[in-house]
Amino acid sequence: MHTKTIKELSVLLHAKKISATELAQLFLQRIKSSDLNAFLHVDDALTLQQAAAADQRLASGDATVLTGIPIAHKDIFVTRGWRSTAGSKMLENYTSPFDATVVENFNQAGMVTLGKLNCDEFAMGSSNENSYFGAVKNPWDKTAIPGGSSGGSAAAIAARLAPASTATDTGGSIRQPASLCGVTGIKPTYGRVSRFGMIAFASSLDQGGPIAKSAEDCGLLLNAMAGFDERDSTSIERDKEDFTRDLNLSLQGLKIGIPREYFGAGLSADVEQAVRAALAEYEKLGATLVDISLPKTELSIPTYYVIAPAEASSNLSRFDGVRYGFRAKDYTDLSDMYCKTRAQGFGDEVKRRILVGAYVLSHGYYDAYYLQAQKIRRLIAQDFQQAFTQCDVIMGPVAPTVAWNLGDKADDPIANYLADIFTLSTSLAGLPGMSIPCGFGQGEKNAKRPVGLQIIGNYFAEAKLLNVAHQYQQATDWHLRQPAE
């Protein structure tokens, strides 16, 4: 039962072949027997209470396609009842009095919350090793990282601990862990999904999205997840739409842009081979490959690591030990309390980004760094718009390599930053992008470590991306593969 898609589970629930309570119990048992450290907080009573309510809706005929389907939330979305920690000591025991809009939307659809998922502290990281609660292990190879910051979200889907999970993408944190764990994830256009109740990292970049087994599952989840929210000033007011409406359209005549900058030095041979094989499959499906250029790609890393830390330094200033969260025990005065609370409450990566952010926003450096980065960000977005005059979607690798070993880059933050080279520019431009499984690495160590194909679309082209991904998944079985239990 745990290997079935959301659509398959929905059919069984509506046909009364299984109850929401039975389904929830099955996944709760799997979570308890897992050693991946993917979950931070599970509460059987809360979950089974929601499952019972879902069963009542199913019995009364007041059910949606998602009613009774279990889901787990990245611990960056606040949830009433469950702890909301953002993977940080600073919020270790914090319980929110309200639900994030994303959580609220899924609750209204009748989904059943399984618990909260591990993530890099305040979503800062590419490996999920920055969590105060310990690293998440990759289900395909437990000596490998699962990717970050949504490592728990991707690992839970890959290990079939949940059929659906929420995640967030600031610079690639849905697509990169989805790629490294061999699952499907989509980052919608910036503003599609409400940020209300999402613990903020970088406000102009953070965007929620779903991770699931297949593109069809992601489309069903996005239908409930997306929508205008007046409580979020960055939310885009657009009519609701069915993101699954175009899943079965032919790809005949589709033009796929292949950025030459995504296939240069730094891309490992096994990742390139898997991506090239996926592109060849698309040609069989009727698509045409078009050579394009995204010349500012190499500038995306310095641009992102000026803008994101600047916004983080502002957003995280609220964690001062006064209003909520951790407070240092021993201090002499208010200033000492601030300093000790933040020194003891934040991890190294969070402190590093706060310091960088405060520096680039400081007097005398704002124009030289932050303002310049914003100008380059606009040029990066213009590169994409030029590219979309030549193609319908853009494809390439998600990450330069397969998952690396736990601990390999723990002491080298720059190496971690460089792993985001193919995802950052999409986030800076606010474009939708997704990752779908397309193969595995090579060699004794990498043969069981997945590779993801990145698909990037123009603004509000999520239905097109899901169609392109779904057609590939109908022709291949990479998304059906699962790690040995």
For residue 55, what is the enclosing H or E element?
A: helix 44-60
Alpha-carbon distance of 243 to 249, in angstroms, equals: 13
Beta strand 393-397 with 164-169: parallel, antiparallel or unpaired? unpaired
Beta bridge partners of 169: 207
- CA 36, CA 141: separation in Å to the nearest integer? 10
- Considering the candidates 173, 425, 427, 435, report the single residue annotated as catalytic: 173
d(CA 120, CA 149): 5
Distance in angstroms (rounded) separating the CA atoms of residues 77 and 225: 13
| Run of H or E residues at 41 | strand 39-41
233 annotated active-site: no
Q: Which residue in 34, 96, 131, 149 is the catalytic one?
A: 149
Nearest to 202 by CA among 373, 397, 66: 373
Q: How far is CA 482 from the centre of its chain?
A: 19
153 is known as an active-site residue: no
- For residue 46, the surrounding DSSP H or E stretch is helix 44-60
Q: What share of the chain is helix, strand, coil (3-state, %, to 5)?
A: 40, 15, 45
Per the residue annotation, which of 10, 19, 74, 137 is the catalytic one? 74
Q: Using alpha carbons only, give the angle 415, 394, 189 rounded to the nearest 5 degrees.
A: 80
φ/ψ of 32, rounded to 5, equals: -65, -30
Q: Find where tokens 């989509």 sit.
A: 186
Decide if 149 is catalytic: yes
d(CA 183, CA 363) in angstroms, rounded, equals 44
Strands (DSSP E) found in 319-449: 393-397, 433-440
Sheet holding 450-456, edge to edge: 39-41, 112-117, 70-74, 164-169, 207-212, 184-187, 433-440, 450-456, 393-397, 255-259, 288-292
Show which residues are catalytic. Answer: 74, 149, 173
